[in-house]
Amino acid sequence: MKSVVYNISLLVVLSILVFTCANRGNPTGGDKDVMPPKIVKSIPENYSINFKDNEITIYFNEYVKFKNLSKQLIISPPMENEPEITPYSTASKVIKIKIKDNLQPNTTYSFNFGNSIVDNNEENPFPFFKYVFSTGNYIDSLKIYGKVFDALDRVTEKNVLVNLYEVDSTFNDSIVYKQKPRYMTNTQDSVTTFTIENIKAGNYKLVALKDNNEDNKFQQKSDKIAFYDEVITVGKDSAYYELKLFKEALDTKVMKPKLVSGEKISIGFEGDFKDITVMPVSTIPEGFETRLIKEQEKDSLLYFYKPKIEIDSLMLRISHAKKIDTFKVRIKDNRRDTLTITSLNKSKLGFDEDFKLTSNIPFTAIDESKIKIIDKDSVAVTYTTELDSLNNTYKFKFPKKEGNRYNMDVLPEAFTDFFGRTNDSLNFKASTDKYLSFGNIRVVLKNETYPLFIQFVNEKSEVVFSKYITEKGNVDFTNLQPGVYYLRVLFDENNNGVYDSGNYLKGKQPERVSYAEKPIEVRAGFEEVTKFILN
């Protein structure tokens, strides 16, 4: 009997264990939370008037935190002393804003948090939350809206600041360099549209900035800018505006020169270097000679002089179109650099490309009888030379054949440098591809005005192929590297042979640019015709 009871009990226990094991597993956790947090209440209430508090408390229905608050938060008008906003790095159901500024009377303030408030678990954003209050007895409710375009690049950068500067008795155009705007917003992450709300009626200057140093002020070297030509009047009705964002050409600026080796002085610069001139103002010996060249791939000029001078310092007057500076350069008995000659070409040579040689010391003479170019069949190639003295580059011009190899033999004493020294034996090689490795494109323009540039650019808006066109007719691009490109036209509106960007202080907008709607694929061995209808 006991044996039967024992067996039944054992069976029951085993059944329970089996059932338990069969149902053991990881919990599913339910559906993923996709709901954004919600505000329970705000003290003082959002859109309060006659605001006199120095602290704002906002309560949520769940734990929230900040994500990229410094980049997302826009306070308008800006405060001189940044408010303290908590929590800093933890999650909380409460956000507090402690105001440390003396608020202006009869002014509507807006705290636009963008998408910076997210829930703690799934980071679902509380999108485009704004806390608004007025120190007066009404909330300013006027607004403007619009879109920002990049004047030159195919894709407009994200998070562009759009600012309104109040035009009153203290306003001048230089305010964008010195002060924060009265109102500001930014373009959204995925689009380049903007809206500025809660504006007081009045006259304003509308300016956009790609503010790369995040100080809400325009700095020519680092930022892009856009501006509306006329002062806008914000009144009863909303208004739409379009802005072209551009990078200004840097104003020419010269850095303090310094001696970097024997009889060689480096002069750093910003902007256009082509009108910079350098003159010695110290007492110099008879027969004193100088040469000025651009340093390869650097924003600096190299000033060479001879003979060696036995003085402690050399005074140089450096001038350009807008300014003349005088600098003192300490002179030391440094060793001169050794002459080094290099090729500027890659291993593959384009059919329209010159063979180019440069050196670290200015060229003064060439002996072509000591330079031979032969092709793959050991046949000598006839060439001509041209010296680009500012860039210190010799160009060797000759017709290229497809699928050919070119070997340049340079014998000793073929080149003479500024100090009268010559080269050792040198050898340079390059080759051409077959014509079938390339593609050809004929561009047919409609509604065009001349002169203009036709350009093919890559994904990053970098120019790959370019032609300057002055008269009507089809334009052929031959021997193009296969790939996907974007076609654009730059209109040379002032007929000066270059594309001119805008200038804010001069009130000058950038020259017009048009992109074709679809990318163009260049295929090896194919000839294509593309029509570009300009609006």
pLDDT in tens, 440-458: 999 999 999 999 999 999 9
Gap between the Cα atoms of 198 and 203, Å rounded: 14
- The pLDDT, as a whole number, for residue 33 is 65
Gap between the Cα atoms of 40 and 28, Å rounded: 30
Q: What is the pTM of this model?
A: 0.84
Q: Same domain for 156 and 241? A: yes
Tell me, what CATH number does 280's domain have? 2.60.40.10
Whether residue 311 is contained in a domain is answered as: yes
Gap between the Cα atoms of 532 and 353, Å rounded: 27
- The pLDDT-based confidence of 405 (bands split at 50, 70, 90) is very high
Q: Same domain for 451 and 415? A: no
| Residue-wise DSSP of 154-196 | SSPPSS-EEEEEE-STT--TTHHHHS--SEEEE--SS--EEEE
Whether residue 56 is contained in a domain is answered as: yes
419 Ramachandran zone, left/alpha/beta (phi>0; psi -120 to 50): alpha
Once rounded to an integer, what is the mean pLDDT over residues 515-533?
Answer: 95
Report the C-alpha dihedral over residues 358, 364, 369, 374, rounded to 10 degrees. Answer: 10
**Which value, in Å, is the radius of gyration of the alpha carbons in the chain?**
34
> 277: domain range?
253-330
Q: How would you label 190-218 residue by residue, b for 16+ Cβ within 10 Å and e otherwise?
A: eebebebbbbbebebbbbbbbbeeeebbb
Q: Is the pLDDT of residue 10 over 80?
A: no
User: Within 10 Å of residue 526's Cβ, how many Cβ atoms?
Assistant: 13
Whether residue 294 is contained in a domain is answered as: yes
Q: Same domain for 513 and 500? A: yes
Q: Same domain for 361 and 399? A: yes
Once rounded to an integer, what is the mean pLDDT over residues 292-313?
Answer: 95
Ranking 14-18, 87-91, 153-157, 512-516 by mean pLDDT, the lowest is 14-18
Gap between the Cα atoms of 152 and 149, Å rounded: 9
Which of these, 144, 120, 116, 119, lies nearest to 130 by C-alpha position? 116
Tell me, what CATH number does 162's domain have? 2.60.40.1120
Asked if residue 164 lies in contact with residue 204, where contact means CB atoms within 8 angstroms, the answer is yes
* DSSP-derived pairing of the beta strands 239-245 and 142-150: parallel
Gap between the Cα atoms of 265 and 308, Å rounded: 13
Whether residue 375 is contained in a domain is answered as: yes
Whether residue 21 is contained in a domain is answered as: no
Domain boundary among 271, 305, 330: 330
Which of these, 516, 505, 415, 520, lies nearest to 154 by C-alpha position? 516
Whether residue 74 is contained in a domain is answered as: yes
Of 74 and 23, the structure prediction assigns the larger pLDDT to 74
Q: Is the pLDDT of residue 16 over 80?
A: no
Whether residue 16 is contained in a domain is answered as: no
Q: Same domain for 347 and 362? A: yes
- The pLDDT, as a whole number, for residue 6 is 43
Which of these, 225, 194, 216, lies nearest to 79 by C-alpha position? 216
- Residue 5's contacts (CB-CB under 8 Å, 6 or more residues apart) are none
**Proportion of the chain above pLDDT 70, given as a percent:** 94
Q: Is the pLDDT of residue 221 over 60?
A: yes
Once rounded to an integer, what is the mean pLDDT over residues 299-322?
Answer: 94
End-to-end alpha-carbon separation of the chain, Å? 103
Q: Same domain for 159 and 103? A: no
Gap between the Cα atoms of 295 and 273, Å rounded: 11
Once rounded to an integer, what is the mean pLDDT over residues 350-362?
Answer: 96
Tell me, what CATH number does 381's domain have? 2.60.40.3710
Once rounded to an integer, what is the mean pLDDT over residues 338-342?
Answer: 97
Asked if residue 60 lies in contact with residue 40, where contact means CB atoms within 8 angstroms, the answer is yes
pLDDT in tens, 21-39: 444 444 445 566 678 899 9
Of 322 and 8, the structure prediction assigns the larger pLDDT to 322
Once rounded to an integer, what is the mean pLDDT over residues 219-244?
Answer: 93
pLDDT in tens, 252-275: 999 999 999 999 999 999 999 999
Once rounded to an integer, what is the mean pLDDT over residues 379-385?
Answer: 97
Once rounded to an integer, what is the mean pLDDT over residues 94-123?
Answer: 93
In the predicted model, what is the mean pLDDT of the chain? 92
Tell me which residue has tokens 């080149």: 415
Task: Give me the number of domains the chain comprises.
Answer: 5
- The pLDDT, as a whole number, for residue 21 is 45
- The pLDDT-based confidence of 535 (bands split at 50, 70, 90) is confident
Whether residue 32 is contained in a domain is answered as: no
